Structure 1
Amino acid sequence: MNNAHLMVASALVLGLLTGCSQGNSLTVTGGDPISYQCEQGKKVQVRYFSLSDDSLNFIKLSLPDGKDYTLPQAMSASGARYTDDHEAVWWNKGDEGFVEMRDDNGEWQTVYRDCKQQ
């Protein structure tokens, strides 16, 4: 995620936390890093977070190329899907997951597959 996206995501979370300070105090829970071993020896790291009232779940996705993304949870039929709907998607179900990124034509492509929690 580029700095502009990270700043927008951070502002959103801070705005939610600030807007709820009228007697209600929200906290962010979670954040322990979980490593996943993907095909071809690539590793991704995911940190899962949620607001204390469960109104928002999101992740910090760290990829082998050094890029980091902060992705909110999105609707999915099965498993969990986190995406900014722009650059990156993390899908997981149980102890496995995969990463999709948009290619030069704007199409989603799986770039890290068969990721298993270590």
Structure 2
Amino acid sequence: MGKIYSSVLLTAVAALAALPGATLAKTSNLSLPGIKLFSQQRVIYRCAGDVRLPVRYLNTDAGALAYLPAGGKRLLFVSVVAASGVKYVAGNYVWWSKGREGFLADKTQGEDAEPILRDCKQIENW
């Protein structure tokens, strides 16, 4: 998936999520007008410092999405091509998961900066 395509897809998903009637509530109901939801999984990770991170994975006809907190609010991340694991982006944030582990980074802190949340390990589904 190219950089331009990813940017367009992310913009489209964000615009759809902002429409009236679009919800990403904690209930099992999900409405993203114009996007078909195939499946979803809710996971809780325990990260370094005993931080709990709830992540909701969504498999849609628009691609794989992840809904999780970053920067003081919940954001909708879209998957992009990665060499290993699954890389999700939302603005300057990156959630990268592989198997039952992951980390959250803020790209405005520089490419070599430590992740915001590191050593995240899946502990349960919710």
TM superposition score normalised by structure 2: 0.65
Counterpart residue type for residue 92 of structure 2: E
Give the RMSD, CA atoms, in angstroms: 2.6
1:46 to 49, 55, 69: 55
2:104 to 89, 99, 106: 99
| Aligned twin of 1:87 | 92
- Stretches of structure 2 lacking an aligned partner (at least 5 in a row): 1-10, 20-31
Within 2, Cα distance between the matches of 1:9 and 1:69? 13
Within 2, Cα distance between the matches of 1:114 and 1:72? 21
- Cα distance, 1:11 vs structure 2: 5.6
Counterpart residue type for residue 38 of structure 1: C
Pair 73,7 (structure 1): closer, same or farther in 2 beyond 3 Å? closer
- Cα distance, 1:67 vs structure 2: 2.0
SS of residue paired to 1:40: coil
SS of residue paired to 2:49: helix
Give the conservation status (yes or no) of the 8 Å contact 1:31–1:47.
yes
Q: Deviations over 1:57-96 (max 9, x none)?
A: 1110125x75211011011000000002x22110010000
1:33 to 5, 30, 42: 42
Computing the radius of gyration over CA atoms, which structure comes out larger, 1 or 2? 1
Within 2, Cα distance between the matches of 1:88 and 1:77? 18
Q: Deviations over 1:19-53 (max 9, x none)?
A: xxxxxxx62133332000000111111111012x4
- Seq. identity, %: 29
Give the conservation status (yes or no) of the 8 Å contact 2:14–2:76.
no
Within 2, Cα distance between the matches of 1:33 and 1:96? 14
2:76 to 70, 85, 91: 70
Within 2, Cα distance between the matches of 1:11 and 1:46? 19
| Aligned twin of 2:25 | none
